[in-house]
Amino acid sequence: MNNKIPNFVKTNQFGLLILVIVFICIFSFSTDGFTSRFNIYALSRVVALDIMIGLAMMVVILTGGLNLSLGALGVSAAMFGGWCMESMGIPISITIILVLAFGSFLGWINGFVTVRTGVHSFIVTLATMSIYFGFMTLLTEAEAFRKLPEAFTDFGSLKLFNKYISPLLIISVMTCFVLYYIFKYTDIGRKLIAAGANPDAAELSGISVDRMFIYCHMLSGFLAALAGIMLTARIGAAIPSMAGHLGFDWLLPAFLAPVLGGTLLSGGKVTVFGTMLGAILVTLINNGLYLIDVGEFWVRFFLGIILLGAVLLDRAREYFTVKNSIVS
Amino acid sequence: MSALLKKDWFGLGLVLIFGSILISLFKPAFISPFNLYVLMLSVSLMLVVAMSQMIIIAIGQMNLSVGAIGGLVAISFTGLMEVYSMSILPAVLIGLLIGLACGFINGYITVKTGISAFIITLATLYIFKGMNLGITEAQPFYEIPEAVKFFGNAKIFGPIPYLVIIPIIITVLMWILMNRTSLGRYMLAYGNNVQSSELIGISSTKIVIYAHVISGLLAAIGGMLVVCRLQLGTPNIGDSWLLPSFAAPVIGGAILAGGKVDVIATAFGVILVSIISQALVIFKIDPFFVQIFLGFMILLAVFINRYREYREERRTKVFSDE
């Protein structure tokens, strides 16, 4: 315990921060255009979404579960928003509230079924993934909503801070702070963590674990819906295939960010800023791979390798910290 | 009779028989030879995929990379024959070897690091799929030997395709493995309770690696069967396997926590899913409904299994004999 190194250095957020800085250095020296205004702006738009998706997954991982339906849910909510704005002519602000409520409702379904059946959320969300996506495709007939209000699409292409940063990134960073506050300082946030860390103990101390798990799934649905709206604003249209078939394109960033950020898959631990750094790292690497020109077909391969490397490194770090703490 | 009632596959079997009779009463086209042929083809392909997932469910894990392994093997198999003009047998063997290697990687990393198989196979899913796309650059291989095409197309007699032979053999072998060999029982014991299985001397390294290797081999066979069926090797083979691979074992009553799988029930699960998909097509229902339906089927199966467990719990409070 009489170590001179401050605690912060030992956390994996610190390791991530170093990695992010190292990668920024590598990419800015080795490639042209990484630090260009255009590229940084593009990065900020992508990273905003990855952070939000990562957070949406993180709050379910907190319960020791998973949410495979994340992408399908987000796209369904976004399509619902597109329908509200284009077909029903509902004002933007009300639409956003409706979409977020809709996302939370879909999340509630996930949570309710998981809690009531006692089946792992993996299988529940696997089923709801295909149900949500199927209904969405059926109802929209796979048609996109392209005539969205200009005020909405303009927001997505707005450039702030000397045209470097997208306002979407500010939303994501603000969400991080709000979540950090909730988990750190509020009663409900601590109950959520307690329920995830040790359900039996939490139940004994008077926390309704089932309700907490449902809240986590609702929060996940809320954040996924928010990500869906942000993606719609970024593209300027609500397109059924914008997250790939069944929303699968969201899955890798969704797991990468929290896992890199040090969220335990067994539940009971959240790292909001770790998830943020994880998402930044993923976006950086993804962007860098394209700039280095590894060939777009190999990008997926490298992302897989990086995920594998990240979890192995994390394992090694855990192993050594355990070993060190035994010695001291 | 009461022993029969307790089996997982019994209820499913009844549903299958009555369902088929009902559908064919409404639409006689359902039992036309052509339709049966199509049905058998889809059952045979999904059977192999479901078995590949089932063996991993048995040890209480999941394998997201089943489709990616199948796709990688499919394009390697066709690529070897087209680009390197290799003959069929060595190409099949190399395909199997690739499946074996992929499975070994999954199992080895999972058991040596203790990281959840979900994350490991998510990573390898991207790695295998990335290799697939990197090699093919998303272009399919079209040059397939006639013998392979024949195997995928021809019928033994009546509506029965040659393609069903291998899946049936695999199902029988899997049944023997899970019910009659010590390896299969060790796997179930491991899936049931990792700690206690280690206490009675079961090597978890061996069990996990064996299960993943078998899963990889089956995924490889599935990939090559799809090549026979489609008569070409496209990079997107295996992309749509994830949902059905879990649907069949879950509908067949496998508990996802591991330790309980039923080969016959899984096979019935596959047939049920295929019949429903087919029936929806015959009744001219929007194909997107098939997906929604599959989702609801999984949820329904989950609820039924939960209910049965609940009843079982109440009954076993008073010890009763078999």
Query: Residue A28: inside a domain, yes or no?
Result: no
pLDDT, one tens digit per residue, over A257-302 is: 888 887 777 777 888 888 899 899 888 888 877 777 777 778 888 8
Interchain proximity A304–B250, CB inside 8 Å: no
Tokens of A273: 């800023």
Summary mean pLDDT of chain B:
85
Please indicate if any CB of chain B lies within 8 Å of the CB of A293.
no
Task: Specify the DSSP class assigned to residue B1.
Answer: -
Highest mean pLDDT among A226-240, B191-205, B216-230: B216-230
Nearest-neighbour CA in chain A from B151: distance (Å): 31
Residue-level pLDDT at A215: 93
Interchain proximity A302–B130, CB inside 8 Å: yes
pLDDT, one tens digit per residue, over A68-109 is: 899 999 999 999 998 988 888 888 888 899 999 999 999 999
Residue-level pLDDT at B157: 79
Q: Considering only the beta carbons, identify the residue of B137, B138, B243 that sits closest to A126.
A: B243
Tokens of B58: 């048995």
Contact at 8 Å (CB) between B273 and B297? yes
Query: Residue A328: inside a domain, yes or no?
Result: no
Using the predicted structure, report yes or no on whether residue B318 has a pLDDT greater than 80. no
Q: Is A147 helix (H, G, I), strand (E, B) or coil?
A: coil
Q: Which residue of chain A is at minimal alpha-carbon distance from B125?
A: A304
Domain that holds residue A113: 36-315
Residue-level pLDDT at A10: 61
Interchain proximity A300–B239, CB inside 8 Å: no
Lowest mean pLDDT among A227-236, B63-72, B266-275, B296-305: B296-305
Using the predicted structure, report yes or no on whether residue B65 has a pLDDT greater than 50. yes
Tokens of B18: 């009555």
Tokens of B216: 């990889």
Confidence of residue A245 (pLDDT cuts 50, 70, 90): confident
Using the predicted structure, report yes or no on whether residue B167 has a pLDDT greater than 70. yes
Query: Residue A289: inside a domain, yes or no?
Result: yes
In chain B, where the domains are located: 36-246
Residue-level pLDDT at A9: 59
Residues of A in contact with B120 (CB under 8 A): 308, 311
Using the predicted structure, report yes or no on whether residue B320 has a pLDDT greater than 50. no
Interchain proximity A135–B243, CB inside 8 Å: no
Query: Residue A9: inside a domain, yes or no?
Result: no
Using the predicted structure, report yes or no on whether residue A327 has a pLDDT greater than 70. no
Interchain proximity A295–B134, CB inside 8 Å: yes
Using the predicted structure, report yes or no on whether residue B180 has a pLDDT greater than 80. yes
Residues of B in contact with A131 (CB under 8 A): 291-292, 295-296, 299
Confidence of residue B251 (pLDDT cuts 50, 70, 90): confident
C-alpha distances (whole Å) from A234 to each of A167, A229, A230 are 10, 9, 6
Q: Which residue of chain A is at minimal alpha-carbon distance from B120?
A: A308
Please indicate if any CB of chain B lies within 8 Å of the CB of A312.
yes
Percentage above 70 pLDDT, chain A: 93
Contact at 8 Å (CB) between B19 and B138? no
Contact at 8 Å (CB) between B5 and B124? no
Suggest the residue from A125, A297, A314, A319 to mutate for an interface test with chain B (most B CBs closer than 10 A): A297
Interchain proximity B306–A117, CB inside 8 Å: yes
- Give the residue-averaged pLDDT of A28-54: 84
Suggest the residue from B137, B292, B296, B306 to mutate for an interface test with chain A (most A CBs closer than 10 A): B292
Interface A-B: count of C-beta contacts within 8 A: 129
Interchain proximity B302–A305, CB inside 8 Å: no
Interchain proximity B299–A113, CB inside 8 Å: yes
Confidence of residue A6 (pLDDT cuts 50, 70, 90): low
Highest mean pLDDT among A215-229, B130-144, B241-255: A215-229
Residues of A in contact with B106 (CB under 8 A): none
- Give the residue-averaged pLDDT of A118-139: 86
Interchain proximity A301–B113, CB inside 8 Å: no
Using the predicted structure, report yes or no on whether residue B208 has a pLDDT greater than 90. yes
H or E segment at B157? strand B155-157
Distance CA B86, CA B30 (A): 41
The pTM of the full predicted model, rounded to 2 decimals, is 0.83
Please indicate if any CB of chain B lies within 8 Å of the CB of A139.
no
Query: Residue A266: inside a domain, yes or no?
Result: yes
Q: Which residue of chain A is at minimal alpha-carbon distance from B255?
A: A119
Confidence of residue B322 (pLDDT cuts 50, 70, 90): very low
Interchain proximity A297–B134, CB inside 8 Å: yes
Please indicate if any CB of chain B lies within 8 Å of the CB of A252.
yes
Residue-level pLDDT at B20: 82
Contact at 8 Å (CB) between B116 and A122? no
Please indicate if any CB of chain B lies within 8 Å of the CB of A33.
no
C-alpha distances (whole Å) from B5 to each of A308, B2, B297 are 45, 5, 21
Query: Residue A31: inside a domain, yes or no?
Result: no
Distance CA A190, CA B83 (A): 60
Number of domains making up chain A? 1
Lowest mean pLDDT among A26-30, A31-35, B46-50, B230-234: A31-35
Interchain proximity A119–B246, CB inside 8 Å: no
Using the predicted structure, report yes or no on whether residue B7 has a pLDDT greater than 80. no
Considering only residues A268 and B100, tell me which one the structure prediction assigns the higher pLDDT.
B100
Residues of B in contact with A303 (CB under 8 A): 126, 130
Summary mean pLDDT of chain A:
84
Using the predicted structure, report yes or no on whether residue A326 has a pLDDT greater than 70. no
- Give the residue-averaged pLDDT of A30-56: 85
pLDDT, one tens digit per residue, over B141-162 is: 888 888 888 888 888 877 888 8
Residue-level pLDDT at B256: 64
CB under 8 Å, gap of 24 or more: what pairs does A108-113 form?
A108/A214, A108/A217, A108/A218, A108/A221, A110/A67, A110/A69, A110/A73, A110/A217, A110/A220, A110/A221, A111/A213, A111/A214, A111/A215, A111/A216, A111/A217, A111/A218, A112/A214, A112/A217, A113/B299, A113/B302
Q: Which residue of chain A is at minimal alpha-carbon distance from B116?
A: A265
Using the predicted structure, report yes or no on whether residue A1 has a pLDDT greater than 50. no
- Give the residue-averaged pLDDT of B47-60: 92
CATH of the domain at A111: 1.10.3470
Residue-level pLDDT at B321: 44
pLDDT, one tens digit per residue, over B272-304 is: 888 888 887 777 777 777 778 878 888 887 777
Q: Considering only the beta carbons, identify the residue of B126, B239, B257 that sits closest to A304.
A: B126
Interchain proximity A308–B302, CB inside 8 Å: no
pLDDT, one tens digit per residue, over A142-182 is: 788 888 888 888 877 777 777 778 888 889 999 999 999 99
Nearest-neighbour CA in chain B from A162: distance (Å): 37
Residue-level pLDDT at B224: 93
Q: If contacts are CB pairs under 8 Å, which of residues 46-85 in chain A contact chain B? A: 66
